[in-house]
Structure 1
Amino acid sequence: MLKAEFTKQLPEFDLQAEFKMDREIVAIVGPSGSGKTTFLNCLAGTVSPDMGRIELGGRVFAEEGGKPLRIQDRRVGYLFQDYALFPHMTVRENILFGLPGQPEPSHVRELTELLGIRPLMDKYPHEISGGEKQRTALARALAMKPELLLLDEPFSALDDETRLRCRNELMRIHRDWQIPVLMVTHSMDEARRTADRIVRIEKGRMAELPIREASL
């Protein structure tokens, strides 16, 4: 169970997070600049909340008056909007970046085969397509067997066919791995098709939307 109750001051308003989730897919929607990515960054540890508490499965990530848990100790996988692949590293090296000094685990082989990128392992990011970069970034986020997966606009740069394939792969991985998935998207259609729940953030305030009636 992820529990996040915190505030973070932003230039135009305060993000006031009140959020809980279990092993489900939750879509975060809302206008640009509303605090969606800041919310993910606070969970990942790249940004620290000003007040409040974040915990996952009883492990405290951040707590008022305490030292935040280090990013590498949170076991959070993060797929950034621009994928953030290292251009000088091969697909294999990118995927194994979070597992330094370790041989390729069997679950990584299974993951890359599932995502259809096994033949690309020795290629560099500039040699693969946008959809292949997206799947490489997803494999990297999952390679460490995270307890929480964060996705920031994971399908926004993909064509319709690739988006459908990647969404189906994500849902299959979620079904098999049973980890919480938190996905920021600007597409309400994508949110409805992918998520179990939809939460809207607007000017730092969070509210759950009925999934059948949700609209931007």
Structure 2
Amino acid sequence: MLLVDFQKQLDHFSLKMVFELDREILALVGSSGSGKTTLLNCLAGIVHPDAGQISLNGTDFFKSGQKPLKIQKRKVGYLFQDYALFPHLTVEQNILYAVPRGTDILHITELTKILGITSLLAKYPHQISGGEKQRVALTRSLAAQPDILLLDEPFSALDDANRDHCQEELLRIHQQWQIPMIFVTHRIADAEKLADRIMRIEKGQMTEKTVG
């Protein structure tokens, strides 16, 4: 269970987030600059709230008056909007980058099969397509077996065919892993197709939409 109750002052408004999330998929919608990515960054530990609390399964990520939990201890998978693949590393090296040595990688082998990238492992990012980069980045974000998955505009660079394929893969992974997932999107159709819950954020204020 993810518990979020925090405030963060941004340039033009205060971001105020209060919600709980179980093993569901939550879509974040809203205009650019409304605070959606800041929410993801606060959960990941890239930035910190000014006050409040963030906890996952009883572990405090952030709590007023305490030192924030380090990024590497949060077990958060994060798929960045630009995928953030290392150009000088192969696909396989990118995927294994954040996995501790000695880790059983059987689940990673299974992920590469599910996401259809087994044949890409020896290639470099410049040698693969945008849809393939998205699947590699998703595999990397899941490689360390996170307790929550965050995705920032995961389908924005994909054509319709690749978007549909990647969405089906994401639903399949969620069904198997049963972890909370939060994704940012500008496409209401994506939110309605994938999410159990849809939250709109505008100028730091959140309202939840009814799905269906």
TM-score by length of structure 1 reads 0.97
Identity level (%): 60
Match of 1:36 in 2: 36
Name the CA shift for 1:176/1:194 in 2 (closer, same or farther; >3 Å).
same
Give SS of 2:157's match: coil
Question: Which residue in 1 is equivalent to 2:172?
Answer: 172
Q: 2:182 corresponds to which letter in structure 1?
A: L
The code of the aligned residue for 2:13 comes to F
Cross-structure match for 1:188 = 188
Amino acid at match of 1:55: S
Aligned: 1:8 with 2:8:
yes
Counterpart in 1 of 2:133? 133
Q: Which structure 2 residue ranges, 5 or more long, are not aligned? A: none
Large movers: runs of 4+ above 4 Å: none
- 1:58 and 1:105 mapped to 2: Cα distance? 27
One-letter amino acid matched to 2:3: K
Once the two structures are superposed, what CA deviation does each residue of 1:80-120 show, in whole Å capped at 9, x if it has no partner? 00000000000001001111433661000000011000010
For the pair 1:199 / 2:199, whether they are aligned, the reply is: yes
**Cα distance in 2 for residues equivalent to 1:118 and 1:70:** 32
Q: Over aligned residue pairs, what C-alpha RMSD do you find?
A: 0.8
1:35-114 superposed matches below 5 A? 35-102=35-102, 105-114=105-114
Deviation, 1:19, is 1.4
In structure 2, what is the equivalent of residue 160 of structure 1? 160
Counterpart for residue 146 of structure 2? 146
Counterpart Cα distance in 2 of 1:139 and 1:208: 29
Counterpart of 1:161 in structure 2: which amino acid? A
Find the aligned partners of 2:189 and 2:109 in 1 and give their Cα distance. Answer: 32
* Runs of 5+ unmatched residues, structure 1: none
**Structure 1 position 163, deviation (Å):** 0.3
For 2:71 and 2:25, how far apart are their aligned partners in 1?
Answer: 22
SS in 1 for 2:6: strand
User: Which amino acid in 1 is paired with 2:211?
Assistant: I
Q: Whole-Å Cα distance in 1 between the matches of residues 18 and 29 of structure 2? A: 15
Specify the SS of the correspondent of 1:18: strand
Contact 1:111 1:139 (C-alpha < 8 Å) held by counterparts: yes
Counterpart in 2 of 1:27? 27
Cα distance in 1 between the residues matched to 2:203 and 2:83: 26
Partners of 1:103 and 1:121 lie apart in 2 by: 18
Q: Which amino acid aligns with 1:19?
A: F
Provide the rounded CA distance (Å) in 2 between the counterparts of 1:207 and 1:164. Answer: 27
